[in-house]
Amino acid sequence: MNRQIVALAAGAVTVIAIAVVIGVQAKRGFDAPVQAKALGPANETFVFAVDPTGRGGPANDCVVCHSVDKNGPLRSAPSLWGIVGAPKARADWFSYSMALRKKGGMWTEEELDEYLANPSGFIPGTIKTLPPIKDAAQRKQLIAYLKTLHS
């Protein structure tokens, strides 16, 4: 239900944006160029309206795309709640790479460590754009945090 509402809202915003552009062009004539309005300097810092759970902790970089809350909000990637011991490619709504789907199995602590250290080495053909976490202590801390995310 929530995904349907989000999809409808996104569709409505698109329709409104198209209507505004057409309206501007209709007033000026379709041959007149439409000038874009600058939204601000490109070096502005992105901030959340409300910091997501996990921000500032071991999963700081993860929570930009993943929720770490049980039944948390949908983000651009699946929730990390219960990830340790969970099946790989478990969220039916997410478009995982074929490489991850074929990998199969469960996310063990050891596999998470290998994956976080070298995503494309652990799963050749992955589409995840995660930079490797070279520091073993940092990976250990992150995995220890992920282990706490369960009922």
Quick one: pLDDT band at residue 119, thresholds 50, 70, 90?
Answer: very high
pLDDT in tens, 6-48: 444 444 444 444 444 444 444 445 454 445 444 455 555 555 5
pTM of the model: 0.64
pLDDT in tens, 39-54: 455 555 555 555 566 7
The DSSP line for the chain is -HHHHHHHHHHHHHHHHHHHHHHHHHHH-TTSPPPPPP-S-TTPPP--SSPPTTTTSTTTTGGGT---STT----SS---TT-TTPBTT--TTS---HHHHHH-SB--HHHHHHHHH-HHHHSTT----PPP---HHHHHHHHHHHHT---
CATH number of 45-147: 1.10.760.10
Domain boundaries in the chain?
1-39, 45-147
